[in-house]
Chain A
Amino acid sequence: EAGVAQSPRYKIIEKRQSVAFWCNPISGHATLYWYQQILGQGPKLLIQFQNNGVVDDSQLPKDRFSAERLKGVDSTLKIQPAKLEDSAVYLCASSLGSGGLYNEQFFGPGTRLTVL
């Protein structure tokens, strides 16, 4: 079974530029998550999709970040304009669902973003 795919793996941009990340979840997984992980910290949920609807985007800086999951499969996360503090690893994860006691999240390899 193929895992969660993400691209690009690395990205270096200058502040005020824009950047986009792509994620393809495990086939059949209804729930997709975007996390931001700053070095030395735990993952911070940016946005959670259930199929193509948004479940939680309370921690998404909506003035600069946007995300979409068209057709309920793959997803893109965009930052425009980027700030220095956006330097982090952006992790995409997917799970079969999000309800109940147990829902294992499977993570992609992440995109390491450096903003200069």
Chain B
Amino acid sequence: QSALTQPPSVSGSPGQSVTISCTGTSSDVGTYNRVSWYQQPPGTAPKLMIYEVSNRPSGVPDRFSGSKSGNTASLTISGLQTEDEADYYCSSYTSSSTLVFGGGTKLTVL
């Protein structure tokens, strides 16, 4: 199972919006709405930010939103804050009953 494709890095200034893409195939992202997004600041454990494409767990700011079109899922962070600087990973359930992660995207808040 190949990893989902994410851009290695994205950046934005405080207050701006950024979008991170996550491209899979018809065997994962394209077929299942079981796409999640995780935030991982350096040296810490991952934190769930979005599940099932667009749902936010309690406590996650509504500045974080998710969507999907075809084989590509996206995470949008609006009103960027310095505390958002972290690595972000998408994941998707697959037709093989496994889970595949993206390679990760480093978000820099300038």
User: Does B bind A?
Assistant: no
Show the binding face of B for A, using Cβ within 8 Å.
none
